[in-house]
Chain A
Amino acid sequence: MTNIFILNLVRFIVLSLIQVFLLQNVGYYNLSIPFLYILFILLLPIKIPHWLLFLLSFVSGLTIDIFYDTLGLHTTACTVMALARIIFINLTLQQDKYESNQTPSLGTMGFRWFFFYAVTLTFFHHTILFLFETFRFSDILYTLLRTVSSSIFTITLIFIYEYIFFHKRIR
């Protein structure tokens, strides 16, 4: 139990540092911006209590907001994403089959499930993020384009990260 706690804490710190100091400077103009830190929320244990999930999403969003100077924006997107995660897991998994601290990662869940999982949640997160950033519906096409291209960028990074760190477990 302490093991999974420390693993998640380290993951949170590493992903936040990557996001703030590396990925903040990376991006295709304003069109495609990666947000890798959401992987932390993706990889929280399957059976995590709902309140803890919301709280951790809130805190991780807030951390990124403080560095990006957009207080509340990532927090909102992460909260919506946490709800999407709960609904997605409820619909696709029978939770009693899994151990209490199992992580829904690429290695344990298989490529197909993890791919849909990552795509759905990333899309939810990015849609809310860009919608609330522009805060109007008049440029909806441009916002949608930004959402899609940023999602592609983020998902690519998520898979690269997963293959680097969990390569051995796949075999």
Chain B
Amino acid sequence: MRNLWLFISKYNAFFLFCLFFIASLSLLLNNNSYQKAWTLGISHQFIGEIYERVNFFKNYLHLEEVNNSLALENTRLKNELKSSYLIDTVEKHIVRDSTRKLQYIYIVARVVNNSIHQQNNYLIINRGSKHGIKRGMGVTGPDGIVGIIRDVTENFARVQSVLHTESRFSASVNGSIGSLVWGERSLNSKIAILKDIPSHIKVKPNDLVVTSGYSLFPMGIKIGHVKRVGLKGGNSFLDIEVVLSTDFSSLQYVYVINNKLAQEQQAIEAQTQNP
């Protein structure tokens, strides 16, 4: 203690200088808008750069999984190619096909920020209004649905993921339609709950749960499979636990679905609600 005091008093000019310099510098930075803006700008840029670096290395860790999922998706898409179907018609004539219009357009996007441990989870993707993204569009991943677009800026969009207590998705299992919710009982990022399925429907574990086509998503997009079927006492509805097929913890690429007829559909739905 004595030595410390001696040390301080020997170099007291320096310590006093530090004290007064910090005081005057804080005066300067707090009261002059230009200097303040400059300092804040530098620190934000610095932090942003660090995040970007970390993200860059994190991407490498998931490289194998991403590769696998891309390869799987490639094979799936190849299976849907026209050339892989067997052509067994003998007669050919050209028909100008005006009935088949493109209803859904897919926009690929990369996930730049992701959370799965909160009660209300969001993802940020690197596509925004510049790329034609609008509020309310559906988002799917390579394995199944991911969420809905909530907010859109010029270059980025925020996705309200399935892992959100206010998310509700229309889902169907064995032809019967219910609604998919998450986070009522547990915050496990792999399990969601399918409600409103009448109890007379037969549902077994491992049955496939897909989108119903009533909402923003095209019909038949995979959501997950049934894990456990329960019946709440005295209730006429089943209580189904669904294992989500999308692994939210390693999600890197998603597809935003632009439903070209969404506006028309919403308009007529609004009409029925307010006659």
Q: Is the CB of A58 within 8 A of B32?
A: no
Chain B positions 1 through 33: 1 when the CB is less than 8 Å from some CB of chain A, otherwise 0: 000000000001110110111011111111110
Q: Kindly list chain B residues whose C-beta atoms are within 8 Å of the C-beta of A76.
A: 21, 24-25, 27-28
Any A CB within 8 A of the CB of B75: no
B21 and A80 within 8 A (CB): yes
Q: In this complex, what residue of A is CB-closest to B38?
A: A135
| Size of interface on B: residues with Cβ below 8 Å to A | 21
Interface string of A38-62 (1 = CB under 8 A from B): 0000000000001100110110011
Within B107-125, the residues touching A (CB, 8 Å) are: none
Partner of B38 from A55, A58, A78, A136 at Cβ < 8 Å:
A136
- Give the complex CA separation of A106 and B210 in angstroms: 92
If A71-B28, A75-B24 touch, does A54 touch B17 (CB 8 Å cutoff)?
yes
B153: Cβ under 8 A from any A Cβ: no
A72 at the binding interface (Cβ < 8 Å): yes
CB of A50 within 8 A of CB of B34, answer no
Instruction: Say whether B25 contacts A72, CB under 8 Å.
Output: yes
Asked whether B35 is an interface residue with its Cβ less than 8 Å from the other chain, the reply is yes
Task: Tell me the count of chain A residues lying within 8 A, CB to CB, of chain B.
Answer: 25
- CB pair B31–A86 under 8 Å, yes or no, is no
Contact B16 A54 (CB under 8 A): yes
B198 to chain A, nearest CB (A): 69
Choose among A61, A82, A132 the residue that contacts B17 (Cβ–Cβ < 8 A): A82
Cα–Cα distance between A54 and B150 once the two chains are bound (Å): 56
Tell me if A73 and B13 are in contact (CB < 8 A). Answer: no
Known: A71-B31, A72-B31, A136-B38. A79 touches B24 (CB 8 A): yes
A80: chain B residues at CB < 8 Å are 17, 21
B16/A51 in contact, CB under 8 A: yes
Chain A 80-101: CB-based contact to B (< 8 A → 1; otherwise 0) = 1011001100000000000000
Q: Which residue of chain A has its CB nearest to the CB of B23? A: A58
- Assembly CA distance A62 to B23 (angstroms): 11
Give the secondary structure class of B's interface: helix
Q: In whole Å, how far is A74's beta carbon from the nearest beta carbon of chain B?
A: 9
Q: Are B17 and A135 in contact (CB under 8 A)?
A: no
Q: Please encode chain A, from 124 to 136, with 1 for each CB lying within 8 Å of some chain B CB and 0 for all others.
A: 0000000010011
Chain B residue numbers with a CB within 8 Å of A73 are: 28, 32
The CA of A64 and the CA of B21, in the complex, are separated in Å by: 17
Interface flag for A108 (CB, 8 Å): no
Instruction: Determine the distance from Cα of A76 to Cα of B27 in the docked complex, in whole angstroms.
Output: 9
> What residues on A are CB-neighbors of B32 within 8 Å?
70-73
Listed residue (B16, B19, B31, B34) with the most chain A CB atoms within 10 angstroms of its CB: B16
The smallest beta-carbon distance between A103 and chain B, in angstroms, is: 20
Q: Are B24 and A83 in contact (CB under 8 A)?
A: no
Q: Which residues of A contact B25 (CB under 8 A)?
A: 72, 76
Q: Looking at the assembled complex, report how far the CB atom of B25 sits from the nearest CB atom of chain A, in whole angstroms.
A: 6
A83 contacts B28, C-beta separation under 8 Å: no
Known: A70-B32, A71-B32, A80-B21. A50 touches B13 (CB 8 A): yes
| Chain A contacts with B in 109-156, Cβ cutoff 8 A | 132, 135-136
CA distance A76 to B29 in the complex (A): 11
Q: Could you say which residues of chain A place their CB within 8 Å of the CB of B35?
A: 132, 135
Additional pairs, 13, CB under 8 Å, beyond known A61-B24, A78-B24: A54-B19, A70-B32, A71-B28, A71-B31, A72-B31, A72-B32, A75-B24, A79-B17, A79-B21, A80-B21, A83-B14, A135-B35, A136-B38
B-contacting residues of A (Cβ < 8 Å)? 50-51, 54-55, 57-58, 61-62, 65, 70-73, 75-76, 78-80, 82-83, 86-87, 132, 135-136
Nearest 7 CB-CB pairs, A to B? A72-B28, A72-B27, A75-B24, A71-B31, A76-B24, A83-B17, A79-B20
Would you list 12 pairs from A and B whose C-beta atoms are within 8 A, ordered by A residue? A57-B20, A61-B24, A72-B25, A72-B28, A75-B23, A76-B28, A79-B17, A79-B20, A80-B17, A80-B21, A86-B13, A136-B38
